[in-house]
Structure 1
Amino acid sequence: MALHFLDFDYSEDEDGIATWDALASVPARRLPELLAELERILAWAHAEFGTPEAPLEHGGPWQYDLQCESAGFASRELHFDPDAGRLQPVLPPMAPEERITISFSLAAERSVSEAFSEQFLPG
């Protein structure tokens, strides 16, 4: 599945935990497309590996952190609702050219990381 907004950096710790980090900044008029891309990734992860019930350090297979910020409102954390397939909370209306920045990190054990790479990252 091709990604159009998110370009990931990869790192791995000494325990083999992989972290995929992406930062995207778009005008508000493009935000629905960026959010849809994030929702596709998170829907896939929930479908393949379940809802992250515990952090990695407590035996969970994966976790994520998703933050957004804009000059128009304070930085806030977004959460994915797997039943609705949508990110929450819904962001307030913004002027079409106002920029919003999303930071997304997905940390995972090796099998989840490899599956993520195969599903979303080119060659």
Structure 2
Amino acid sequence: MTTLAILTVDLSDNDEGVFTIEALASTSARHHAAALAEAQQVLDWAWDAFPHTHGPADEGGEWDHDLQVVDEDGGWHAVTLTLTGTAEFARAFAQAFDFGRDDDA
């Protein structure tokens, strides 16, 4: 089990059973590499745990992702990793990253 130290995570779902996991960080240049490393750690986990099911839900995929990296004013950097997936994917994420232990995620 891993705890994310830099990325802030939010989990939501919709009426169609698709879960969205947003992992966000806005950091100074000094911490930017660490934020990117955490995002990569999450992606590495997803590829390892669900290696053959990547793709959009409407095409039968169990999980998909979008990574955005933006340079902001004042030398800040934003990292946004958005994962969408099934309930099983969301539960596995919550267990792997010690997220939502107080909830029944």
TM-score (norm 1): 0.73
Determine if the alignment matches structure 1 residue 107 to structure 2 residue 84. Answer: yes
Which stretch shifts more, 20-29 or 106-115? 20-29
Moved over 3 A (4+): none
Q: CA deviation at 1:32?
A: 1.3
Partner of 2:75: 98
CA RMSD of aligned residues (A): 1.8
Task: Read off the aligned partner of 1:17 and give its amino acid letter.
Answer: V
Indicate the structure with greater helix content.
Answer: 2
Task: Read off the aligned partner of 2:42 and give its amino acid letter.
Answer: I
Identity %: 30
> Which digits, 9 at most, give the CA deviation of each residue in 1:11-51, with x for residues without a partner?
11111110011321011111111111111111010011015
> What stretches of structure 1 of length at least 5 have no aligned partner?
73-96
Larger radius of gyration: 1
TM-score (norm 2): 0.84
> What stretches of structure 2 of length at least 5 have no aligned partner?
none
Partner of 2:94: 117
Alignment length (residue pairs): 99
Q: Which one scores higher on RCO, CA 8 angstroms, separation ≥ 6?
A: 1
Partner of 2:71: 70
* Equivalent residue runs for 1:1-123 within 5 Å: 1-50=2-51, 53-71=54-72, 98-120=75-97, 121=99, 123=101
Q: CA deviation at 1:10?
A: 1.5
